[in-house]
């Protein structure tokens, strides 16, 4: 029998893994994919990462600096669920990309290195999840190495993140003696990801052949304490973002991964409702809606295509259907939507809310775009952050100015940089959140367009989107400060200030002008 829309939607779990670099995100992703049969051998994700890194010139940056710039999605099925993992770049210079990706997930797995606890990137990413009420499942990784005391880690999560912890499993042994996890509610031991033994922690047999003698009493004591003293799992509090279920394990050694994937299936929410300008769209609404949160070029160097990653918010996407692009009101044929598995892409014949499909295009789609079956609605909430660094692009060959303009426009549409066109006609200014984005821009302009460029400091260092309740007020400000006004890709005005002092000064002089550090795509 054909699956109903509601059934298809309820099986979907779309999540991201958030972590400080090196905590084990790649290893864990790989192990999750192994479970789902999306890959056959451990090492494929990493190997793919390495292969991709050697593919095109601009990715040299990644290779040289050992960072991952590429964000992508991977789909797999396990038990009855369809999982979509959205990968995010770990490096903070690409934070805007990560934040946009987090708008497309319904849950997040927070990976913590058991020896290091909450690290700065974890904290930052957690804050974004909290802003969006994204429920979080915690995986405390690397228990096979020297680690902190589990209670201490839980305390740190509670204190630093103001998030209640409900340990679901407890580690058996530490570092060299780490040999599995104990499920606190089910009284089950998982000695590896395949083996399960129903037992009570107080059963002498349970510890005697697992732990060295001097560790047994302590394990029983602390496990009983964990059961007694820690908060029990509360699904409502979890879904509201107040409580996180905690799993201990070792992604590298296959401990705890299965409990984590089971929890994702069991606890993580199905696709959420999405807020649009005219109404809230429910995941089970019949008509297809989707939004674009990421554009990626160069996925395949043989085809200079651009893939727009779209999160389906409702209905059913069917290959060949026509969609309405809200920004332009024009029709777009979805002839080749794609799913991404770890090692290949595949045409997506049908996709449901929660799924992420790649839509190949030649520049029609931009970040923040909404696609519908005809309804004129626009999803809210894909953020654009005010850049921290503003530069003018200096072209070594002045004859190629037109080509540069086109290239910059494309890079801005992909979200590599932001582009601002000054009102006074002076050369464009590019803005980025992190300096590495400039390196990527430079490499790509050279590799893809043959344009050698350098960057010059501009006299501006701060950028704010401006608006006013009264259009006349905005006009007055724009006219008075014409030399400091520019337009972004959507033709929305920004005020460019030399420093935060002059920004404050102007904000006081023109109280009717709203100056925003964040813009939501529309
Ligand atoms: P990231 O994506 O979060 O940056 O982390 P990644 O998975 O690449 O893991 C970072 C390092 O930590 C890797 O070692 C990886 O093998 C190791 N690691 C991940 N999970 C565990 C674990 O549960 N236990 C232990 N002991 N190590 C773990 P590397 O030496 O940097 O890389 P590799 O060359 O060994 O792959």
Buried-state track 318-347, b at ≥16 Cβ within 10 A, e below 16: ebebebbbbbeeeebebebbbbbbbeebee
Q: How far apart are CA 365 and CA 339, in angstroms?
A: 18
CATH topology of domain 383-520: Alpha-Beta Plaits (3.30.70)
- Determine the Cα angle at 363 with ends 362 and 367, to 5°: 135
Q: Is 14 annotated as a binding residue?
A: no
CB distance 88 to ligand 1 below 6 Å: no
Q: Is the CB of 45 within 6 Å of ligand 1?
A: no
pLDDT tens figures, 28-56: 988 888 877 765 555 555 555 554 443 33
What is the pTM (predicted TM-score) of this model?
0.86
* pLDDT tens-digit series, residues 368-408: 999 999 999 999 878 788 898 999 999 888 889 899 999 99
* Best of 19, 22, 109, 115 for a ligand 1 pocket test (most atoms within 8 Å of beta carbon): 22
Structure tokens at 193: 């990801």
Q: Is 362 annotated as a binding residue?
A: no
| pLDDT at res. 521 | 60
Classify 136 as helix, strand or coil. Answer: strand
Provide the residue count of the chain: 522
456, exposed or middle or buried, with CB in 10 Å at 0-12, 13-18, 19+?
A: exposed
Residue 69, pLDDT score: 39
Contact status, residue 226 vs residue 232, Cβ threshold 8 Å: no
Tokens encoding 256: 């705890």
Q: How far is CA 218 from the centre of its chain?
A: 39
Query: What pLDDT was estimated at residue 308?
Result: 92
Task: Say how many C-beta atoms besides its own lie within 10 A of residue 380's C-beta.
Answer: 16
Span 15-67+106-267 CATH architecture: 3-Layer(aba) Sandwich (3.40)
Helices (H), 386-509: 401-414, 435-449, 471-480, 500-509
Please give the distance, rounded to the nearest whole angstrom, from the Cα atom of residue 116 to the centre of ligand 1.
14
Between CA 27 and CA 380 the distance in angstroms is: 33
Q: Is the ipTM of this complex over 0.90?
A: yes
Q: Is 89 annotated as a binding residue?
A: yes
Cβ-Cβ contacts under 8 Å for 511 (sequence gap 6 or more): none
Question: Residue with the nearest Cα to atom 24 of ligand 1?
Answer: 142
CATH of 274-372, one of 3.40.50.300, 3.40.605.10, 3.40.50.150, 3.10.105.10: 3.40.50.300
Distances in Å between the Cα of 507 and the Cα atoms of 384, 462, 477, 513, 514 are 21, 13, 11, 7, 8
164 CB neighbour count, 10 Å cutoff: 16
Q: Which residues contact 22 (CB under 8 A, 6 or more apart)?
A: 113
The pLDDT value given to residue 58 = 39
CA dist., res. 56 & res. 286, Å (int): 41
Closest CA to 93 of 310, 462, 417, 391: 417
Structure confidence at residue 55 (pLDDT): 36
* Phi and psi, residue 388, nearest 5°: -95, -20
What does the pLDDT profile of the chain (522 residues) look like in tens digits?
Answer: 678 999 999 999 999 999 998 999 988 988 888 877 765 555 555 555 554 443 333 354 444 444 343 447 888 889 899 999 998 776 677 778 888 899 999 999 999 999 999 998 899 899 889 988 899 999 999 999 999 999 999 999 999 999 999 999 999 998 999 999 999 988 888 887 666 776 777 777 777 777 888 888 888 889 999 999 899 999 999 999 999 999 999 999 999 999 999 999 999 999 999 999 999 999 999 999 999 998 887 665 555 678 899 999 999 999 999 999 999 999 999 999 988 765 567 888 999 999 999 999 888 998 899 999 999 999 987 878 889 899 999 988 888 989 999 999 988 988 889 999 999 988 899 999 888 889 989 988 998 889 999 999 999 999 999 999 999 999 999 999 999 999 999 899 999 999 999 999 999 999 999 999 988 765
Q: Measured between alpha carbons, how far is 293 from 43 in angstroms, rounded to an integer?
A: 28
CATH 3.30.70.3280 residue window(s) in the chain: 383-520
The DSSP bridge partners found for residue 453 are 395
Residues 6+ apart with CB under 8 A from 197: 188, 189, 191, 206
Residue 90 in contact with ligand 1 by CB distance below 6 A = yes
Shortest-distance atom of ligand 1 to CA 145:
26
C-alpha 269 to ligand 1 mean position (Å): 28
Distance 26 CA to ligand 1 centre (A): 8
Domain with CATH 3.40.50.300 in the chain: 15-67+106-267, 274-372
Cβ atoms of residues 517 and 464 within 8 Å: yes
374 labelled binding-site residue: no
What are the backbone dihedrals phi and psi of residue 472, each rounded to the nearest 5 degrees, phi first?
A: -65, -35
Looking from the CA of residue 253, the nearest atom of ligand 1 is 23
Residue 370 annotated as part of some ligand binding site:
no
pLDDT for position 375: 96
Residue bearing the CA closest to ligand 1, atom 30 = 22
| Phi, psi (degrees; rounded to nearest 5) at 487 | -115, 140
Q: Which residues of 61-87 are buried (b: 16+ CB within 10 A; e: fewer)?
A: bbeeeebbbbbbbbbbebeebbbbbbb
Virtual torsion, Cα 41, 43, 46, 51, nearest 10 deg:
-80
**Other CB atoms closer than 10 Å to residue 515's CB: what's the count?**
20
Q: Decide: 25 in ligand 1 pocket, CB within 6 A.
A: yes
What values do phi and psi take at 95, rounded to 5?
Answer: -60, -35
- The alpha carbon of 27 and the centre of ligand 1 are apart by a number of angstroms equal to 6
């Amino acid at each position: 029998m054909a699956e109903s829309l509601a059934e298809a939607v309820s099986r979907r779990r779309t999540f991201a893994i958030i972590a400080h670099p090196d905590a084990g995100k790649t290893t864990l992703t790989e192990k999750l994919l192994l479970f789902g049969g999306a890959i056959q051998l451990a090492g494929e994700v990493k190997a793919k990462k390495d292969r991709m890194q050697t593919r095109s010139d601009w990715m040299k940056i990644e290779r040289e600096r050992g960072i991952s710039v590429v964000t992508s999605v991977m789909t797999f099925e396990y038990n009855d669920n369809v999982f979509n993992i959205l990968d995010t770049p770990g490096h903070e210079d690409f934070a805007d990309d990560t934040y946009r990706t987090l708008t497309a997930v319904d849950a997040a797995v927070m990976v913590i290195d058991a020896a290091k606890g909450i690290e700065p990137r974890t904290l930052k990413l957690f804050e974004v999840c909290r802003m969006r009420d994204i429920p979080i499942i915690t995986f405390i990784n690397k228990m096979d190495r020297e680690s902190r005391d589990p209670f201490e880690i839980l305390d740190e999560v509670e204190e630093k993140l103001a998030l209640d912890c409900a340990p679901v499993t407890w580690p058996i042994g530490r570092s060299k003696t780490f040999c599995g996890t104990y499920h606190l509610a089910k009284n089950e031991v998982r000695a590896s990801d395949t083996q399960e033994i129903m037992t009570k922690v107080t059963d002498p047999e349970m510890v005697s052949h697992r732990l060295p003698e001097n560790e047994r009493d302590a394990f029983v004591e602390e496990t009983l304490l964990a059961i007694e003293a820690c908060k029990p799992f509360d699904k409502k509090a979890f879904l509201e973002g107040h409580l996180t279920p905690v799993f201990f394990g070792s992604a590298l050694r296959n401990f705890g991964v299965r409990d984590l994937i089971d929890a994702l299936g069991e606890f993580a929410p199905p696709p959420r409702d999405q807020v649009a300008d005219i109404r809230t769209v429910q995941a089970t609404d019949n008509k297809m809606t989707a939004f674009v949160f990421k554009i990626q070029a160069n996925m395949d160097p043989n085809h200079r295509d651009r893939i727009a990653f779209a999160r389906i918010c409702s209905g059913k996407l069917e290959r060949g259907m026509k969609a309405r692009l809200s920004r332009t009101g024009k029709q777009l044929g979805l002839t080749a939507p794609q799913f991404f598995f770890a090692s290949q892409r595949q045409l997506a014949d049908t996709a449901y809310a929660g799924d992420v499909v790649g839509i190949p295009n030649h520049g029609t789609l931009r970040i923040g775009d909404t696609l519908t079956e005809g309804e004129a609605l626009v999803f809210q909430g894909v953020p654009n952050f005010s850049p921290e660094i503003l530069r003018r692009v200096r072209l070594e060959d002045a004859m190629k100015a037109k080509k540069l303009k086109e290239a910059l426009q494309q890079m801005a549409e992909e979200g590599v940089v932001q582009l601002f066109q000054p009102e006074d006609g002076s050369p464009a200014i590019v803005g980025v959140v992190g300096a590495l984005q400039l390196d990527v821009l430079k490499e790509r302009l050279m590799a893809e367009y043959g344009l050698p460029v350098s960057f010059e400091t501009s006299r501006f260092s701060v950028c704010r989107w401006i608006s006013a309740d009264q259009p006349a007020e905005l006009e007055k400000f724009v006219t008075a400060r014409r030399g400091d006004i520019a337009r972004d890709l959507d033709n929305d005005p920004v005020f460019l200030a030399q420093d935060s002092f002059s920004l404050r000064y102007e904000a006081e002089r023109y109280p009717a002008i709203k100056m925003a550090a964040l813009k939501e795509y529309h």
